[in-house]
């Protein structure tokens, strides 16, 4: 927010920040839950759900969760799709920064 109290161009809105925190916490939790289910031979979290959460903003948590839980680190095509999402998000973020 600028000194006048209005939002400046390029500021991340508070709801967007809450969204990113929430989706990253959910992504981290679901990666952990999926690992637990894998060990317990229980019904797993679908890979598509994990990838969608990553695409919706949870990719930082997905990248942290993989080595943290030692989960989905060698799984293809999951790893390839996750990196496609990360690169696309980085490109969009870089494009957004250059437009400031």
**% helix / strand / coil in the chain, to the nearest 5?**
70, 0, 30
Round to the nearest angstrom and report the end-to-end CA distance of the chain: 15
Q: Between residues 93 and 53, which one has the greater pLDDT?
A: 53
Structural tokens at position 58: 């949870």
- The domain ranges of the chain are 14-98
- What is the crossing angle of helices 78-98 and 59-69, to 10°? 140
In the chain, what's the furthest Cα-to-Cα distance?
57
- How does residue 96 score in pLDDT terms, banded at 50, 70 and 90? confident
DSSP code of residue 9? T
Whether the link from the prior residue into 77 is cis, omega within 30° of 0, is yes
pTM to 2 decimals?
A: 0.82
Supply the pLDDT for residue 6.
53
Supply the pLDDT for residue 56.
98
């Amino acid at each position: 927010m600028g000194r006048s109290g209005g939002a400046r161009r390029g500021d991340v809105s508070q709801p967007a920040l809450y969204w990113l925190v929430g989706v990253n916490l959910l992504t981290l939790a679901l990666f952990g839950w999926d690992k637990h289910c894998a060990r317990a031979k229980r019904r797993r979290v679908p890979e598509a759900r994990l990838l969608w959460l990553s695409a919706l903003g949870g990719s930082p948590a997905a990248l942290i969760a993989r080595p943290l839980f030692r989960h989905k680190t060698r799984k293809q095509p999951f790893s390839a799709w996750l990196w496609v999402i990360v690169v696309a998000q980085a490109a969009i973020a870089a494009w957004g920064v250059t437009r400031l």
